[in-house]
Structure 1
Amino acid sequence: MTATNTLEDPRVASALDRMFRRAEQDEAIRGRIRAARPQGSAPLGPQEQADANAEVYMPISAQGGRLLYNLIRATRPATVVEFGTSYGVSTLYLAAAVRDNGTGRVISTELSATKAAAARRTFAETGLDDLVTVLEGDARDTLAAVAGSADFVLLDGWKDLCLPVLRLLEPRLAPGTLVVADDVYLESLAPYLDYVRDPRNGYQSVTFPVEDGMEISCRL
C-alpha cells in the first residue's frame, strides 16, 4: 500500500515553495518598515503591527513545518488551533497532516485582513480549504467564541500575546495536549517560556532545536 503524504501534492509543494521564496524578502521589507517610523515613536499595538507588516510572510521554517506535520500525524487531534496564520505556510503543514490522518480540522487566527484573504486563496488552490477555518481579528476575541476542545495548539503570532492566548485556551486543553510555540530565542517570548517551563503551571516543556527553536509543552 502506498503511503499518503499531502505535503508531496504538487499544489501544496508549489505553494510552499512560492511562499518560502517570497519570504526571503522579509528582512528587507522589515528594514523599510523600521526606516519609515519616526525615532521615538510609541510602540505599535497588535492591529497596528499586523497592518504595518502586511507584506511580511514570517513563515515557520520548513523543518519546523515537517516537525508539526509529524506531531499531528502521531497525536491525531480533532481540532488544531493556530495563533497566527500570516500567509498560511504553517497552516498548510497542519492541514496536510489533518488530511492524511483522515480526521480533524484546523482553526487559525489572523489580524491582517490582507494576509487572511491571501491565505484563504492559497488553501482553496491547494484543496485544503475544507479543513481550515481562518478567524479574522484579535485571537483573544475570536478564539473565545469558538466552542469545543483545543487538541493541538500552535502559537506563532505576536510573541507578547502567546501567553494570553494560551491562558485563554487552557480550560479547553485536556491532559496530554501538545502546545507548540515558535521562535524561542526572541526576547518577547520570555514571559510565555517562563510560564510553560514552571511545573507549577501544569506543563512538561522541552525546547526542540529546529531553526529558531520550538518549545513543545505537554499539558499535564
Structure 2
Amino acid sequence: MFEAAARDDETEARLPGIRPDERAALTAQELADAVREIYMPISADGGRLLYNLVRATKPTSVVEFGTSYGISTLHLAAAVRDNGTGRVVTTEMSRSKAASARETFAATGLDDVITVLEGDALRTLADLRQPVDFLFLDGWKNLCLPVLRLLEPHIAPGTLVVADDVDLPDLGPYLDHVRDTANGYHSVTFPVEDGLEISCRL
C-alpha cells in the first residue's frame, strides 16, 4: 500500500485538475470524490508511532477521522489486537475508499476490531455515545477542529489526541486550539514526515 501511495503525485497528475480557487468552492464530499484514487497516507514512521502510542496507552475505544485506504487504520487496529482489548471506529467520506478499506481490513484479519462509518464524520460521529480513549485526526484539515469539538465531551483527562500534517495551512485553527493550554490540552509536535501533533487532554 505504501508503494501505491508513493505514486500519489502521478495519480493526481492524470486526474482532472482542481485549481486552488475551485477547491474552496467544493464541499468536503465533492473534494473527497475528486481525489478518491489518491491514498494520502500517514508516513511509515508515523504509522509505527501510532502503533506504539496505542500499545502504550491501551485504549478501549480508538476513534479515527479519515480512513482513506486504511493504512493508518491498520496500524491502530494492529495495536488494539496486540493489546488484546479495544476497538477502532474510523470514518471515511468516499464510498469507494471505504469499500476498498473494508476489503483490506478483511484481508488482514483485522476487520473484527474495526468499524467503518461511511459519510460525513460530523454526522456519523455525532451519534457516538462511548468514551474516546484515543483520537487520531487525519481527514480534511479544516474539519479537524470541528471534529475535535464534537468529540470533546467524550474525551477524558489523560487521553491522547493526535493530528497528522502539521505543515498544512488548513490545520492552523486546530493547532491554535490544542497549543493553548487554556483550551485544556498540553501539546507537542513530533517531527516525522509532515509532522504529528500529539496533545494530551488536561
TM-score by length of 2: 0.96
Q: Aligned pairs, how many?
A: 201
* Matched position secondary structure for 2:157: coil
Radius of gyration: which is bigger? 1
Does 2:179 match 1:197? yes
Q: 1:168 aligns with which of 145, 150, 154?
A: 150
Residue from 36, 41, 44 that aligns with 2:17: 36
What is the CA-CA distance between 1:31 and the residue it aligns to? 3.0
2:169 maps to what in 1?
A: 187
> Please, which runs of 5 or more residues in structure 1 have no aligned partner?
1-18
1:131 partner letter? V
Equivalent residue letter for 1:214: L
Distance 1:179 1:44, change over 3 A: same
| Corresponding residue number in structure 1 for 2:56 | 74
CA distance in 1, matches of 2:12, 2:175: 25
Unaligned runs of 5+ in 2: none
Partner residue of 1:89 out of 44, 48, 71: 71
- What RMSD, in angstroms, separates the aligned Cα atoms of the two structures? 1.2
Q: For residues 99 and 150 of structure 2, what CA distance do their matches in structure 1 show?
A: 25
SS of 1:141 mapped into structure 2: helix
Specify which of 94, 107, 120 is matched with residue 112 of structure 1: 94
Task: Give 1:29 shift.
Answer: 2.3
1:136 to 115, 118, 131: 118
What percentage of aligned pairs have identical amino acids?
A: 69
Q: List per-residue Cα deviations over 1:116-154 (Å, max 9, x = no partner).
A: 000000000000000000000000000011211000000
Instruction: Indicate the structure with greater strand content.
Output: 2
Deviates more, 1:67-76 or 1:24-33: 24-33
> Residues of 1 paired with 2:80 and 2:173: CA distance?
30
Is 1:27 the counterpart of 2:13? The answer is no
TM-superposed deviation, 1:30: 2.3
Which SS does the other structure have where 1:36 is aligned?
A: coil
State the alpha-carbon separation in 1 of the partners of residues 31 and 191 from structure 2.
28
Deviations along 1:1-53, one digit per CA (max 9) or x if unpaired, are xxxxxxxxxxxxxxxxxx101111111222334x5346853521100010001
**3-state DSSP of counterpart to 2:111:** coil
